[in-house]
Amino acid sequence: MQKNGKTIFIGHGRSPVWHSLKDFVQDRLGQTVAEFNAEPVAGQNQQARLTCILNDACFAFLIMTGEDKHSDGTLHARENVIHEIGLFQGRLKFEKAIVLLEDGCTEFSNIKGLNHIPFPKDRIEAAFERIRGVLEREGILKTSPVHDFRPKQPMGRLRLAMSRESVVRKQSLRQAILARRNRITKTGNQYD
């Protein structure tokens, strides 16, 4: 069995939305990203390039954007993206080869019923939190502490005292606001 690598592959057509995904995964999530044209491919066999990418990948996002118009007027993803979906689902399995489907792009027949992450036309950023969630689910990212609200350890006395102090401050502030409202109501002057 082939051991998977450490990069996250992004398969895409001509639409520039993939750049936003690359920046998110690489810069904000700290992951290594690969895409087919990241290295010069002149003189290199496409099969060899794809094999290299498949061997290096531990995960893949495959972006289906409506770019090819069929005779019936429907918009479809580029054929290279459909090919890459099959390759990466075969190598990494369905859980680690995730399709990102842009609104308006027609699903191809074999993908109907398969879960995917939808996103509005030209706004892949709307799917970023779901993308982060999938990477956490598959163990590529550690669970973000921002989203993990479970206490890491029992609350100690110091933290409990700090919590009580903040409650008292909030109550005092609330009382001051109510007293000011009452003064304004009685006198009609907010600058009292």
**C-alpha pair distances (Å), 162 with each of 66, 156, 158, 167, 168:** 54, 10, 6, 9, 10
Give the mean pLDDT of 5-9. Answer: 88
Q: Give me the chain's average pLDDT, please.
A: 80
- The string of pLDDT tens digits covering residues 140-164 is 988 755 544 444 555 455 455 555 6
Query: What proportion of the chain, given as a percentage, has pLDDT over 90?
Result: 36
CB atoms within 10 A of CB 99: 24
User: Contact, 64 vs 100, CB < 8 A?
Assistant: yes
What's the confidence (pLDDT) of residue 22? 94
**pTM, rounded to two decimals:** 0.68
Rounded CA-CA distance 154/98 in Å is 38
Q: Which residue has the higher pLDDT, 17 or 42?
A: 17
**C-alpha pair distances (Å), 125 with each of 26, 173, 179:** 14, 39, 45
Highest mean pLDDT among 63-77, 102-116, 134-148, 174-188: 63-77
8-state DSSP, 188: S
Band the pLDDT of 27: cuts 50, 70, 90: very high
Band the pLDDT of 125: cuts 50, 70, 90: very high
Rounded CA-CA distance 6/57 in Å is 6
